[in-house]
Amino acid sequence: MKIHLRQIPQGGTLHAVGYEDAAFLDLEEADAQACSPLEYELDVGISGGGLFATGRLNVCVRLRCVACLDEFETTVSVDPFALQKELDGRESVDLTEEVREDIHLALPAHPRCDAEGKKACPARFSQAPDDASQPSGDAPWGVLDGLKTEKRQKQ
Ligand SMILES: [Zn+2]
């Protein structure tokens, strides 16, 4: 992922928007697979002999749920993304390393397919249904939801 310095207007910022093949992210190192190119939207400028970039990164990633072991897709975002880099006299600046590092930091350490609340993780319902010592179904979550609603109303 390279920024050509000539593209940056003098005294201004370059608004860089686009897609980059996600292969350079090396997501397989983190047991993940990209399911989209990396989408970026950055404002890049030069200040005090260094390059700065701010904006956001998004990539669709396929992860394996730690509870049910099913694969699921989620969007990993770095927002805001920000970096500063010394200029070394070259005509372009390579942001690959910083982008890869930030995406890896944004990956969940313990991915759960129900983390976004869009679906229920099947592993949550795999307990024996006649286990009376455990509250069943969604009851505990219902209570939590109630608390959340109450809090919101108070604000
Ligand atoms: Zn799951």
69 CA distance to ligand 1 centroid (A)?
Answer: 6
- Cβ burial of 66 (10 Å; 0-12, 13-18, 19+) is middle
pTM above 0.85, yes or no: no
- Write out the two tokens for 145: 């939801």
Note the pLDDT tens digit of each residue in 101-110: 999 999 999 9
Closest CA to 99 of 116, 82, 113, 87: 82
17 CA distance to ligand 1 centroid (A)?
Answer: 34
124 CA distance to ligand 1 centroid (A)?
Answer: 8
Backbone phi, psi, residue 98, to 5°: -65, -40
Q: Which helix (H) or strand (E) covers residue 102, if one does?
A: helix 96-106
Note the pLDDT tens digit of each residue in 45-62: 998 889 999 999 999 999
The pLDDT value given to residue 128:
46
Check: CB of residue 63 under 8 Å from CB of residue 31.
Answer: yes
Check: CB of residue 95 under 8 Å from CB of residue 81.
Answer: no
The pLDDT value given to residue 124:
76
**Residues of the chain under the 70 pLDDT cut:** 125-155
117 CA distance to ligand 1 centroid (A)?
Answer: 11
94 CA distance to ligand 1 centroid (A)?
Answer: 37
DSSP string, 108-150: -SS--TTTTSSS--GGGG-S-TT-TTSPPTTHHHHHHHHHHHH
53 CA distance to ligand 1 centroid (A)?
Answer: 36
